[in-house]
Structure 1
């Protein structure tokens, strides 16, 4: 099929609602390689996964050396154990870092095999997220740190076959993580919505995800026991993941990747601190208005029943509503508030902007930025 035609892909089969983790009892295979962060072991969810797989007649080998912003060294360590395991099932349990690590194992094991003239037999890949943010359980994206730089890898081969959204796995998340991961969902939705590759299919998903986040993220931020709101936010995360894996993202993620790599800021927090300035840039609120982004933001304003008598009013209303939501979640007012010294930030600007220009997310941004414009966005947010 020729590439000139637009398409929509959803590789992952999605199961959701509380206790859906029990579906592991029905998995077919002989041995599982489980990639999990340490907290999943402490909370008992890792043992749950092992027990359910055991009921299916599947033994497990476990790697718990995951840490935030997984790098090539962690993946190399995991690959050694993975190759010895001879697993035909790969399970990622945890936040985005666990799923990214599992994807990294898949990606590098496949390419290493090709380089050695060997064909990798792909395992059944199951992703069970423990945070509601990355949408990684259904995407063909992974972000790996190499030489202190975050590298975005996009390959259909690494998209999970099965996603299990069991909201019991995200019970009791700290407020800061609820905020960071929830805002990440919002950014995924907004960037997919204004992307150059957006379609009717991705727009429908992005609109729904934005609505779910606005209605439910403040609820679970203020009351982690609100199981209905937690289900909705987790579903929104997955829905947004489907949208952006088809439509792509934009410079909000490019800038966040570069800044996170330089200053080790959590990804969701980086996105939150940059979001309003990026939306103002994309809509060109100062100067000649960019009709595409401005009209899209105005549509979101209408969906949220915000003032939108004109396109500009709608765009402004939506940007202001996003700012209000972010502030209600305890996010700092600016990058400086994180304790980053001005001289250090200024000295990193050029490199961060150059890195963002080369990021895989930049080409689908609704406006084509210059390096100087990206530097200005950073400075505005500092």
Structure 2
């Protein structure tokens, strides 16, 4: 038996921001990315709120939000009896707001507060997940907070908010969506429900991400990628993830590569490892037929012949490489600019941290630290 809860109310499509007009007489803590404030976009979003609401705005958000940011956000509310936490931005802003919400409630504040998320990127799916990743800057370690208590009550998905997203961020966040969907699909906790969500997200990414990257004003592509992000988030919220994210969490804390870009760099190497399939034709192979079969199913979904599990894995990785080239993505850590000496210094620590990461538990192949080190070295 397994249980699934799709708690978050989704407000989707053009004009979805009008949902904000329904909230009245609330004490709202707004947690937002700072550039939204500077650009005036945040003011335009908040203009949809009724004048009866009292608002406190916190915008001291940085990528990979540290514990200090969470504390500062809670303190910014002062003695105000917060009845709603409204997060506006990318994954960092939403993750930070979820952590603020959680820890404030543990301290006796924000007790009956509503948690509302408005994503301004199409990538993390954080608006429909009970995950939040917080960084200990001193230790250079990321800590996932996983609890249904931080699953947003409402998510407002208005694709107009991502029309001006730069192409490089479009690519990074889009590849994050693909990683979420593929990892959920091969997870040991995958179900018919998560499979359906992941399959749709994968198809949408391959069809619409290149379009959104090429032309940010392609409204249809933006809307489809916004939906793909949420679908993939719903998939991995029930099925969880795997070592692609475990390695990305650990390596991201050391090398500060954008999360989606790091996931992209690792992706084909993780697929190869999980399926135990070499991407070359040299040597005899004993693939994990069950795992390789899952990747084969994805390849077929994308229109590949995938006549065998091994061929399916190779065709899927080829398709991913082709997509990466369309998005001008680096194919290795070295290509991104990670220095060899820095890699050598941290690689063992990264592999050990990845082994302890919560996402590793549901990876389809049970790894050792040495095997994860091998994946990391292949990605360098």
Q: TM-score, normalised by structure 2?
A: 0.95
Match of 2:355 in 1: 357
Q: Describe the SS at the equivalent of 1:361.
A: helix
- Structure-2 separation of matches of 1:119 and 1:39: 28
Question: Which segment is superposed worse, 271-280 or 25-34?
Answer: 25-34
- Does the 8 A contact of 1:301 with 1:308 survive in 2? yes
- What are the superposed Cα offsets for residues 145-189 of structure 1, whole Å, 9 maximum, x if unpaired? 013211111010001000000011111111110000000000000
Instruction: Report the alpha carbon displacement of residue 138 of structure 1 after superposing the two structures with TM.
Output: 0.4
| Equivalent position of 1:219 in the other structure | 211
Moved more, 318-327 or 89-98: 318-327
Matched, 1:42 2:32: no
Residue among 55, 61, 68 paired with 1:66: 61
How much has 1:83 moved relative to structure 2? 4.5
- Single out whichever of 225-234 and 313-322 deviates more from structure 2: 313-322
Q: Check whether the contact 2:89–2:120 (CA below 8 A) recurs between aligned residues.
A: yes
Which residue is 2:260 aligned to? 268
Could you tell me whether the CA contact under 8 Å between 1:194 and 1:292 is conserved in 2? no
Q: Secondary structure at the match of 1:85?
A: coil
Q: Could you tell me how far apart the structure 2 residues matched to 1:258 and 1:122 are?
A: 34
Q: Which residue of 2 aligns with 1:330?
A: 328
> Contact 1:274 / 1:378 at 8 angstroms: preserved in 2?
yes
Structure 1 unpaired stretches of 5+: none
Question: What is the aligned counterpart of 1:170 among 162, 173, 177?
Answer: 162
Work out the CA distance in 1 between the residues paired with 2:157 and 2:46. Answer: 17
1:217 Cα deviation (Å)? 0.1
In the TM superposition, residue 110 of structure 1 has moved relative to its aligned partner by 2.5
Contact persistence 1:29–1:89 (CA under 8 A): no
Cα distance in 2 for residues equivalent to 1:345 and 1:270: 14
Aligned partners of 2:206 and 2:240: how far apart in 1? 22
Q: Point out where structure 2 has 5 or more consecutive residues left out of the alignment.
A: 279-284
Match of 2:251 among 256, 259, 263: 259
Please list the CA deviations of residues 56-111 of structure 1 after superposition, one character each: whole Å capped at 9, or x if unmatched.
Answer: x2121100101111000111111101353321011000000100110110122233
> In the alignment, which residue of structure 2 is the partner of 1:132?
122
Aligned partner of 2:92 in structure 1 is 97
- Of the three residues 73, 78, 82, the one matched with 2:77 is 82
Q: Name the structure 2 match of 1:373.
A: 371
Deviations 1:257-302 (A, max 9, x none): 0010001111011101100000000111043211222111111111
Q: CA deviation at 1:339?
A: 2.1
Task: Provide the residue aligned with 1:203 in structure 2.
Answer: 195
* Whole-angstrom CA distance in 1 between matches of 2:147 and 2:5: 13
In 2, the alpha carbon distance for the partners of 1:9 and 1:159 equals 10
- Which residue does the alignment assign to 1:142? 132
Provide the alpha-carbon RMSD of the alignment.
1.3
Distance verdict in 2 for CA 1:49–1:32, change over 3 Å = farther
| Alpha-carbon distance change, 15 to 245 in structure 1, aligned in 2, over 3 angstroms | same
The Cα offsets for residues 305-338 of structure 1, whole Å up to 9 and x where unpaired, read as 1121222222221121011111211111210122
Contact residue 50 and residue 60 of structure 1 kept, 8 A: no
Length, aligned pairs only: 372
What residue number does 1:290 align with?
288
Deviates more, 1:37-46 or 1:274-283: 37-46
CA–CA distance in structure 2, aligned partners of residues 42 and 81 of structure 1 = 19
Q: Show the 5 A alignment for 1:223-234.
A: 223-234=215-226
Distance 1:88 1:152 in 2: 25
Aligned residue number for residue 19 of structure 2: 23
After superposing the two structures, state which structure 1 stretch, 236-245 or 336-345, moved more: 336-345
In structure 1, the residue corresponding to 2:145 is in which secondary structure? strand
Runs of 4+ in 1 over 3 A off after TM superposition: none
Summarize deviations over 1:111-142 as a string: whole Å, max 9, x none.
3x2xxxx4751311110000000000000001
Larger deviation: 90-99 or 280-289? Answer: 280-289
Q: Say if 2:246 is the partner of 1:248.
A: no
Distance 1:300 1:82, change over 3 A: same
